[in-house]
Structure 1
Amino acid sequence: MRATRRLGSVLSLLIALLATAMVMGLLAAGLLIPAVGGAGLATNKSIDLFNGLPSTFAMNPLAQQSRILAADGSTIATPFNENRIVVPLNKVAPIMQKAQVAIEDERFFQHGGIDPKGLLRALTSNAQGGGVQGASTLTQQYVKVSLQNEALSSGNTTAARNAVAREGLQGYVRKLQELKYATALEQKYSKDQILDGYLNLVYYGDQQYGIEAAAEHYFSVPASKLNLPQAALLAGVVNQPTAYDPVNNPNDSKARRNIVLQKMYQQKIITFKQYSDASVSPISLKLKNVSGNCASSKYPYFCNYVENWLSQQPSLGKTVKARQAALESGGLTIKTSFQPKMAAILDAKLRARVPSNNKYGINDAAAMIKPGTGQIIATGQNTSYSTTAGLGKSGINLANSGFTFGSSTKFFQIVTALERNASPDMTIDVAPQTAKNADNELGTSFRYSAFQGPCYQNARGSFVIGNDFVVPTGKMTYARATAWSVNTAFTKLTEDVGMCNVVDTMVKLGLNRKDLQITPASVVLGVGLTSPIGLASAYATAAAGGMYCPPRPVDSMIDGNGKKLAISVGKCKRVMSQQVAAETTQIFRAVLNPDDHKATGYKAALANNRPAAGKTGTVSGANNIWFVGYTPQLATAVWVGHGSGSDRPLRNVPINGQLIGSGHYIFAGDLAAPMWKDIMDAALKGQPIKQFPTVPGMNTGTDTPSSGPSSPSSSSTSTQISVPNVVGQDINSAIATLQAAGFHVQVGPNRPGPQPRGQITAMSASGGSASQGTTIFIYPSSG
């Protein structure tokens, strides 16, 4: 009974409101309604109630699609909650504007938000049927859809239902508030502004919101280019988007289109001939579907990387949730550094060497970085994107996944040594392999105590490091030890320069300390974790003359209003001198020496003698293999292994039907190196051949095979002189003795030893010879 009285009260209010308004002629102007003396007490109370309803209504910014663009402007993805592209009214064809008004509200430009004639007709009908239907002006429709959208966006499903209620008391209450908001809206905004908002807001079926997205989707034209039949069809969809969807219900859609055309003719918007011609024309759709989310993108892995990166950008919001909302509804334009042509090269070359459907589940991946910028040019892998497991499928971005990186860690050891005034022609001691490890393999024994430092404390026991093949013992230059990837030499080098210093170098070149296993064997053999993006960025530092730039996929971000947003990314910074960068490059060019077939990367030598530097990386057991290298223009890391995280070795597995590798183990030089060459030759084709900067008088040592005057491993003419033994001397005396003999001196960390605290307990090149000017490392005793 109470509900019936309330319903009657609301209905009475509407009728009284309408009657008074028609007498006063005020609703057509969208004004407040004064009490009327002759209208009666009930009518005046109804008018008071209407005037007391909330009237504040703003045309809030609409949710619209964002765009993630490649460097060439092509679209990678358009993330959205609602696929909408907001455009101003002058970018909507006039015929489209007229068609929408003709079918939805032919008196739109005459009323003030409420159409009294239509409302009276609807009220008379609805009083008998019990529902609130019809009579909504275009302005009222805008209010209704806006309220529903805002409620859904905030997660208020109850408010969303109330915003479109059609039956009973709630329906009448909704209509009453809608009327009040409509009059308020008409007072605040012009008709063009309201029509603009409406055309950008409403749903046009098939997941298309707003006229621009609908025009692009159904006809592959912007809204400004819509013709008469197209405009009439779209205008007709709005009333019942599912029923009149031209894709799924073409016949009903065509019939509805012709109703719109008839309305336009009756309202003298078009001529009879225009009406006749358009009404018999077929529905000619030219569908264009956007790649909304990353899963449907042509570049899903890179797209996901970009979205994850954006979720850490403070300018998009205070929380990850807010940033995601900005991406999906803020109309952002994200310009990336991604180059589709380079990505195509990566995918083609990676799949050519390791087909995606190989039955052994071997994967590969690569990342390209532009030195001196941090820009990620491209990533690629030999799998198809899928969240469902299967042969040749993966949902994991392997270019940004962590893998053990093997001998590519030697880059960090060389940089560390050169930073401590070592010279490229300095030699490393290669001791005989007389000890055996746990697998009964020959190697050289080293004491844990010799590697102690701030990052590692262990003074007990020893460990054994071996080489992958037999190497000569004695003195070996940095270049040859690097080219041949001599583990025992680099273990000694790490001991000399201080293991913790090597770890620090890794970190300042972008590796995550938490992903590193900080033990002597792990640091020497690259047992920590890093990604192709991470290693390519680290090596790019040398190509950039010592400037490290954190990797980034985005060049610019612009919001929906055209405002440029700040990008939060670490700045490029100098982490090594230009000389150290040049010396590092000179040493690592020896790895690609095509005339030295003991060089692990000789198969990576580039076409046309293009200068390049790099390093192979084979993890013990060949679980993961790498080649990381660079030219002055481009740094690329290539990885091969099992993307599932399996530790299965790459052994006895045919690649393209052929067994490769020594003892059927696939080493980095067998597969990753030639794969890197394939990629770089194609990527750099047609680009100028640039030379690396050199350091005057720099050479790579006397024992490196000559390969011509311009080779990075050409022989040295430097004189080898005897290194005085300063063990047992105090620090100052030791420095003076070595400097008098023509050497530079670097004091290393304290080590346990039999000498009194402060006296020298160990040194590099003890009892041997080295080139004049070489840096000799000395280590005081900790007592």
Structure 2
Amino acid sequence: MAAKRSPLSGTSPRESRGPGHKALLGVQLVGASALAGAIVAGIALPAVGGVGLSAKAAANDFNNLPGDLVVPTLSQASTIYDANGGVIATVYSRDRTSVLLSQIAPVMQNALVDIEDHRFYQHGAIDLQGTLRALLKDSSSGGVSQGGSTLTQQYVKNVFIEEAGDSAAGVAEATRQTAGRKIQELKYAIELEQKLSKQQILDNYLNITYFGGGAYGVEAAAELYFSKHASQLTLPEAALLAGLVQSPSAYDPVQNPASALTRRNEVLDAMASYGSISTAQAVQAKAQPLGLKVTTPKTGCIAAKAGDEFFCNYVEHVLLDDPAFGATSEARQALFDQGGLKIHTTLNPQDQAAEEQAMQNHIYSSDKAVAVSSMVQPGSGQILAMAQSRPFGTGTNQTEINYNVDAMHGGGEGFQTGSVFKAVTAATALSQGIPLSYPINSPASADYPAMTDCDGVVHPAVPGDQNDTTVPYGNIDMVKAMADSVNTYFVPLEAQAGLCNVVHMAQSLGLGNQGMMNAAGTGLEPLAQAQSLTLGVNDLTPLQIANAYASFAANGTYCSPTAITQVVDASGKSLTVPSGNCHQVLTPAVAQQVNTLLHSVVSDQGTGASVAIPYSDAGKTGTTNSEAQAWFAGYTTQVSDATVVTNPNYPLNSLNGVDIGGHSYDPAYGYETAGPIWHDAMIAAMSGQPNTALGFAPGPKN
């Protein structure tokens, strides 16, 4: 008679044997391969020949099969944290939290063993009784059944399934029931039984196996079905979970409660028959309902903290796209799928809340127009906030497109920037020694002068350059031209600085058409080199603009935008993260001159005067043709922010007369639409920070 366990006890006489038993077990293990070979050789299996194992040679060939199974590190959930250590989201390829066997209720361990392999602690890798019975049945029927598999063999199969990941073909191959596969599983099982203790095998099994509902491992299953930890499972709960292993879909307690109840009671009967519990305990447990308390895991960026979803999505794309996390896309995907990562990010909760509240103050999620904003820290490139007025999701008035970023990172193509781009032209001219006082006659309208692009193509003079006013400006300097955003000043300034030079300056500031990987692998495609380049005809993203403007605030230091500060893998090892690669692209003197120009915009006489903040600031409005997009970008020494209001579904449609937060504007200039959002966000973000003066250059003498 089999040794009995104390009901609901954590240990079992079948688990705790003396030295004599260990010696006997060693003999059994040493002879296991020979025994397995004899079984294979002695049973006429029709499919054996298909794997190169004739009945005559089976015993010898069995010993030549590979037996060194690599036990995988189980895929687990990863956690994304904000800059203060708060949880943004939990993401995973598989819902699993690995736990130690000591963290799994003993009754759960007993239930699983009793229903799946009640002789687990008594046999080696092979349960001779079960295997012979199954093989004889298969031989007579001509098929291959599940019967006779030990827990160790089942664990081996689960390893194959785990390695297959989300590949349907891989999973099908891992679960294909052929004689050859069962024999290979047997060989691996023998090796595992020699390397691992029974407790280790059971521990691995309970953490790897699928329990349905997307839950892998008993801890995730306990949390899913009963909203508790595996250590807290009661007898009827443990019996239910143990019963799911055979067929998670057929016995799904949510979808098929009657079948699940029947299966649970079968497990309870098995436990009573093998002495794990008493008959009275089984009867009492069977009288209880399923007792489900389902908690659907709130995972993935869709379940991130409200407002953080777009940034979360961006972080995922960085992990999957940046070579810092693997030389190939396959390597990066494997890292993400493996999970167990602790991902610490740059997202500042105060700044994020500031962006979201500012949008709520000025635009509704149901508006046709959408507001999009990014905040970056000058001098580091760290992304402080990323928000949209249209929430993340697939429902009405929602979107999963992150308009702050390019298509490579889950966004779109960007938006034309209008006069926000004039700062780049000014930086180019100033870098070449053209002074702030440089005079240009600026009529109400003029021709685009001839220019030569970076490919040597000469673009002849054409008409079309004009201002919003019909009044000519006459001879004005760069400061006046920037304050009033005079097109007929900046187009000839672009010609004077050189079209190609402006392109190169833009690229040094991280500006370029995004969305498709170029030959250099940077994702930065060349800008369209039109004579109207300075007027913002290229599509750029708020993150790009905020980051470029941050270079002016940081005395000419450009840093690549970064979202991740640290990644710790499941083993506790810190991984290399993308660097901001900060470097000087403008001399401090030129950066200070740009600051002077952009500060004129928010001065009393500038186009952005109405949205100036009570800090040392600088900024620029931008409005595209027909007011299709309206921008405001600006900064202090601590924060750079770019905000655009547009209709992303109909990018060529005018914002004129469109309802924006209960108001309509005609014309819908940047300082009226995007500007107030920028203003409110910057005021809140700067709260508690010192009013550190930007570096300014002396303006031109009048």
TM-score by length of 2: 0.81
Cα distance 1:259–1:344, how it changes in 2: closer, same or farther (>3 A)?
farther
Amino acid at match of 1:688: Q
The answer to whether the 8 Å contact 2:119/2:127 transfers is yes
Query: Secondary structure in 2 aligned to 1:504?
Result: helix
Within 5 Å, which residues of 2 pair with 1:475-494?
476-494=476-494
Distance 1:671 1:35 in 2: 80
The answer to whether the 8 Å contact 1:369/1:376 transfers is yes
Query: Secondary structure in 1 aligned to 2:566?
Result: strand
The answer to whether the 8 Å contact 1:28/1:115 transfers is no
Distance 1:345 1:141 in 2: 53
Q: 2:632 aligns with which of 619, 623, 627?
A: 627
- Answer with 611-620 or 645-654: which moved more: 645-654
Distance 1:61 1:646 in 2: 49
Deviation of 1:227 (Å): 4.5
Cα distance 1:61–1:34, how it changes in 2: closer, same or farther (>3 A)?
closer
Amino acid at match of 2:377: K
Deviation of 1:490 (Å): 2.5
Distance 2:351 2:234 in 1: 40
**Partner residue of 2:155?**
142
The answer to whether the 8 Å contact 1:429/1:492 transfers is no
Q: Deviations over 1:482-508 (max 9, x none)?
A: 222122233343344334333222111
Within 5 Å, which residues of 2 pair with 1:361-372?
361-372=368-379
The answer to whether the 8 Å contact 1:375/1:552 transfers is yes
Matched, 1:241 2:248: yes
Query: Secondary structure in 2 aligned to 1:482?
Result: helix
The answer to whether the 8 Å contact 1:29/1:111 transfers is no
Deviation of 1:675 (Å): 1.5
The answer to whether the 8 Å contact 1:627/1:672 transfers is yes
- Answer with 558-567 or 277-286: which moved more: 277-286
Cα distance 1:148–1:651, how it changes in 2: closer, same or farther (>3 A)?
closer
**Partner residue of 1:761?**
none
Distance 1:25 1:517 in 2: 75
Deviation of 1:256 (Å): 3.4
Matched, 1:70 2:81: yes
Amino acid at match of 2:383: I
**Partner residue of 1:185?**
192
Query: Secondary structure in 1 aligned to 2:421?
Result: helix
Aligned length: 643
**Partner residue of 1:439?**
none
Amino acid at match of 2:315: V
Deviation of 1:205 (Å): 1.0
**Partner residue of 2:548?**
538
Deviation of 1:684 (Å): 3.2
Amino acid at match of 1:605: A
Distance 1:196 1:366 in 2: 48
Q: 1:85 aligns with which of 69, 72, 97?
A: 97
Within 5 Å, which residues of 2 pair with 1:635-650?
635-644=640-649, 646-650=651-655
Within 5 Å, which residues of 2 pair with 1:44-63?
49-53=58-62, 54-62=65-73
**Partner residue of 1:741?**
none
**Partner residue of 2:559?**
549
**Partner residue of 1:306?**
315
Deviation of 1:550 (Å): 0.9
Cα distance 1:42–1:510, how it changes in 2: closer, same or farther (>3 A)?
closer
Distance 1:115 1:208 in 2: 29
Amino acid at match of 2:560: P
Query: Secondary structure in 2 aligned to 1:550?
Result: coil
Distance 1:73 1:102 in 2: 42
The answer to whether the 8 Å contact 2:509/2:548 transfers is yes
**Partner residue of 2:205?**
198
Cα distance 1:622–1:92, how it changes in 2: closer, same or farther (>3 A)?
same
Distance 1:176 1:420 in 2: 76
Matched, 1:512 2:523: no
Query: Secondary structure in 1 aligned to 2:627?
Result: coil
Deviation of 1:133 (Å): 4.6
**Partner residue of 2:607?**
600
Amino acid at match of 2:205: Y
- Answer with 373-382 or 56-65: which moved more: 56-65
The answer to whether the 8 Å contact 1:428/1:493 transfers is no
Deviation of 1:112 (Å): 0.8
Within 5 Å, which residues of 2 pair with 1:392-411?
392-400=397-405, 401-411=413-423
Cα distance 1:471–1:412, how it changes in 2: closer, same or farther (>3 A)?
farther
Deviation of 1:529 (Å): 2.0
Cα distance 1:113–1:648, how it changes in 2: closer, same or farther (>3 A)?
same
Cα distance 1:160–1:499, how it changes in 2: closer, same or farther (>3 A)?
closer
Q: 1:564 aligns with which of 554, 567, 574?
A: 574
Query: Secondary structure in 1 aligned to 2:379?
Result: coil
**Partner residue of 1:214?**
221
The answer to whether the 8 Å contact 2:454/2:499 transfers is no
Amino acid at match of 2:336: L
Distance 1:548 1:77 in 2: 32
**Partner residue of 2:669?**
667
Cα distance 1:459–1:161, how it changes in 2: closer, same or farther (>3 A)?
closer
Deviation of 1:547 (Å): 1.6
Within 5 Å, which residues of 2 pair with 1:260-659?
260-264=267-271, 267-269=274-276, 278-291=285-298, 294=301, 299-339=308-348, 342-358=351-367, 361-385=368-392, 392-400=397-405, 401-421=413-433, 426-431=436-441, 433=443, 442-445=444-447, 447-448=449-450, 451-452=451-452, 457-458=457-458, 460-461=460-461, 463-469=463-469, 473-474=473-474, 476-512=476-512, 514-520=525-531, 522-569=532-579, 571-593=581-603, 596=604, 598-606=605-613, 609-644=614-649, 646-659=651-664
Cα distance 1:162–1:405, how it changes in 2: closer, same or farther (>3 A)?
closer
Query: Secondary structure in 2 aligned to 1:398?
Result: coil
Amino acid at match of 2:692: Q
Within 5 Å, which residues of 2 pair with 1:15-34?
28-29=28-29, 31-32=31-32
The answer to whether the 8 Å contact 2:89/2:300 transfers is no
Larger Rg: 1
Amino acid at match of 1:104: E
Deviation of 1:532 (Å): 0.5
Deviation of 1:277 (Å): 6.2
Deviation of 1:427 (Å): 2.3
Q: Deviations over 1:567-599 (max 9, x none)?
A: 345511121233333332233223223xx2x42
Deviation of 1:271 (Å): 6.7
The answer to whether the 8 Å contact 2:442/2:486 transfers is no
Cα RMSD for the two superposed structures: 3.7
Within 5 Å, which residues of 2 pair with 1:671-750?
671-685=673-687, 687-694=688-695, 698-701=697-700
Distance 1:47 1:90 in 2: 46
The answer to whether the 8 Å contact 2:80/2:312 transfers is no
Distance 1:611 1:558 in 2: 38
Distance 1:175 1:446 in 2: 77
Deviation of 1:536 (Å): 0.5
Deviation of 1:285 (Å): 3.5
The answer to whether the 8 Å contact 2:43/2:135 transfers is no
Distance 1:111 1:254 in 2: 30
Deviation of 1:702 (Å): 5.2
Structure 2, unpaired ranges of 5+: 1-23, 45-53, 406-412, 514-524
Amino acid at match of 2:117: D
Distance 1:464 1:429 in 2: 21
Distance 1:422 1:192 in 2: 77
Identity of aligned residues (%): 35
The answer to whether the 8 Å contact 1:429/1:474 transfers is no
Higher RCO, 1 vs 2 (CA within 8 Å, ≥6 residues apart): 2
Query: Secondary structure in 1 aligned to 2:321?
Result: coil
Distance 2:568 2:35 in 1: 51
The answer to whether the 8 Å contact 1:200/1:209 transfers is yes
The answer to whether the 8 Å contact 1:515/1:530 transfers is no
Cα distance 1:691–1:153, how it changes in 2: closer, same or farther (>3 A)?
closer
TM-score by length of 1: 0.73
